[in-house]
């Protein structure tokens, strides 16, 4: 993992502890990084009053205004979306990954919405047993989402239903043409205004950069996950040698209808589920970009390592597509053995700002006994 050394923190921050200006540095929730975008808000927008005598009320008022202003800059944030993608066959002899990036979902499929806000759609699909399932889901799923009567007002319900409808539609296609039999994991991200909704079925992963801190927006559905193991066993399935029913390395996927004991039609439910797990957040000015990658990427990158790598590249050239290419190339250098696909969605036009680590303030104290011993030593 590449993290900037704490020694790179400027001398100005070291002097802060001993100065009279005791304003706290704005820390990120869920991480140790400072967002340098926030550093100078107070200095730019107001003059710090001396908190003494007649100036006390003025200082309190200015502090409240500064706090409200900071809150406004976060909550009034409007994402400016830029996306890039790159894929490579990697260490495999054939390519089963695919992906999709749609800036305006409704416009693409000729749907007129009451809302003026576009719904953007991004997805990575990692096929297994052939490419047919991943390509079918890539093409079919976004259209089903748009055609749902509750789109876009109830996105969570719409996306869950659409995953299940797409899975059933692929089962029908396979029954008509057995050569299509295959499966795929699927991870989609939708952005509607300031809302980010991630839906995942499988082991692709989405990671959000929040001022340099990696926030995982999905959980890998693998047999080693205890929650998934309990769900599988409750449905009559089993984990054998780290594989679902001894056959699959994932516990959720679309397709795989040809594998005996995995899925059932009608009221019965098999252990392999196509139902996605969802995570929705409201984006703020602190959120920089989202990385979506197939599992081949995460075999050689940790979530934080990928964020650190992408931030450095974006700070160098601010080209989201080139950044995706560099991530894939780095994965190949790290001897990734799987297909490799990356989609990166940036929420700003500007590159991510430099991040610094706040030095911990250490209280230095000395006991009375040691103080007396030192005094005696000095007095001879």
What tens digit of pLDDT does each residue of 33-69 get? 334 444 444 444 433 333 334 444 444 455 665 666 6
Query: Buried b vs exposed e over 168-186: b needs ≥16 C-beta within 10 Å?
Result: ebbbebbeeeeebbbbbbb
Structure confidence at residue 8 as a pLDDT band (50, 70, 90)? very low
Cβ 218 vs Cβ 196: under 8 Å: no
Q: Is residue 301 predicted with pLDDT exceeding 90? A: yes
Which DSSP string corresponds to 237-279?
--EETTEETTTBS-SB-EE-TTSTTT--STT---SSB-PPEEE
Beta-carbon neighbour count of residue 247 at 10 Å? 13
Helix (H) or strand (E) run with residue 228 in it: helix 226-234
C-alpha 148/C-alpha 160 separation (Å) is 11
What is the per-residue pLDDT for 161? 98
Which two structure tokens, joined as six digits, stand for 148? 């749902």
What tens digit of pLDDT does each residue of 65-84 get? 566 666 666 778 999 999 99
Classified as helix, coil or strand, 101 is strand
Cβ 150 vs Cβ 165: under 8 Å: no
What tens digit of pLDDT does each residue of 127-168 get? 999 999 999 999 999 999 999 999 999 999 999 999 999 999
Average pLDDT over residues 331-344: 98
Structure confidence at residue 20 as a pLDDT band (50, 70, 90)? very low
What is the per-residue pLDDT for 67? 62
Domains annotated for the chain, with CATH where assigned, are: 77-346 (3.60.40.10)
Beta-carbon neighbour count of residue 320 at 10 Å? 21
Do you find a cis peptide bond into 335, omega within 30 degrees of 0? no
C-alpha 74/C-alpha 72 separation (Å) is 5
What tens digit of pLDDT does each residue of 190-243 get? 999 999 999 999 999 999 999 999 999 999 999 999 999 999 999 999 999 999
C-alpha 89/C-alpha 335 separation (Å) is 13
Which two structure tokens, joined as six digits, stand for 114? 């009451």
Which two structure tokens, joined as six digits, stand for 164? 């299940």
Nearest to 288 by CA among 213, 198, 206, 358: 213
Cβ within 8 Å of residue 319, ≥6 positions away: 84
What is the per-residue pLDDT for 362? 55
- Residue 189: strand pairing partners: 122, 198
Q: Is 180 left (phi over 0), alpha (psi -120 to 50) or beta?
A: alpha
């Amino acid at each position: 993992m590449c993290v900037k050394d704490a020694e790179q923190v400027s001398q100005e921050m070291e002097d802060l502890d001993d100065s009279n200006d005791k304003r706290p540095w704005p820390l990120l929730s869920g991480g140790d990084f400072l967002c340098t975008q926030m550093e100078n808000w107070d200095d730019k927008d107001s003059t710090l009053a001396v908190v003494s005598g007649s100036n006390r009320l003025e200082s309190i008022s200015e502090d409240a205004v500064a706090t409200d202003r900071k809150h406004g800059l976060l909550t009034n944030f409007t994402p400016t979306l830029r996306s890039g993608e790159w894929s490579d066959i990697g260490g495999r002899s054939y390519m089963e990954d695919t992906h999709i990036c749609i800036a305006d979902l409704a416009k693409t499929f000729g749907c007129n919405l009451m809302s003026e806000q576009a719904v953007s759609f991004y997805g990575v699909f990692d096929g297994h047993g052939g490419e047919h399932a991943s390509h079918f889901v890539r093409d079919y799923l976004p259209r089903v989402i748009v055609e749902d009567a509750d789109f876009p007002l109830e996105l969570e319900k719409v996306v869950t239903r659409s995953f299940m409808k797409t899975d059933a539609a692929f089962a029908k296609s396979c029954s008509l043409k057995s050569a299509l039999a295959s499966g795929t994991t699927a991870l989609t991200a939708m952005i509607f205004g300031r809302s980010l909704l991630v839906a995942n079925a499988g082991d692709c992963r989405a990671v959000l950069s929040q001022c340099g801190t990696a926030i995982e927006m999905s959980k890998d559905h693998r047999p080693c996950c205890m929650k998934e193991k309990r769900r599988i066993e409750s449905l009559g399935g089993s984990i054998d040698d780290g594989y679902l029913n001894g056959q699959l390395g994932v516990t959720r996927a679309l397709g795989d209808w040809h594998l005996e004991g995995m899925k059932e039609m009608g009221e019965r439910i098999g252990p392999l589920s196509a139902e996605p797990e969802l995570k929705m957040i409201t984006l703020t000015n602190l959120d920089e970009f989202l990385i979506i990658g197939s599992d081949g990427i995460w075999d050689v990158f940790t979530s934080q390592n990928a964020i650190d790598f992408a931030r450095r590249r974006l700070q160098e050239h601010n080209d989201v597509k080139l950044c995706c290419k560099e991530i894939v190339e780095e994965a190949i250098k790290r001897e990734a053995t799987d297909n490799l696909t990356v989609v990166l969605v940036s929420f700003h036009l500007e590159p991510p700002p430099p991040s610094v680590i706040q030095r911990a303030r250490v209280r230095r104290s000395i006991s009375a006994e040691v103080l007396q011993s030192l005094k005696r030593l000095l007095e001879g």
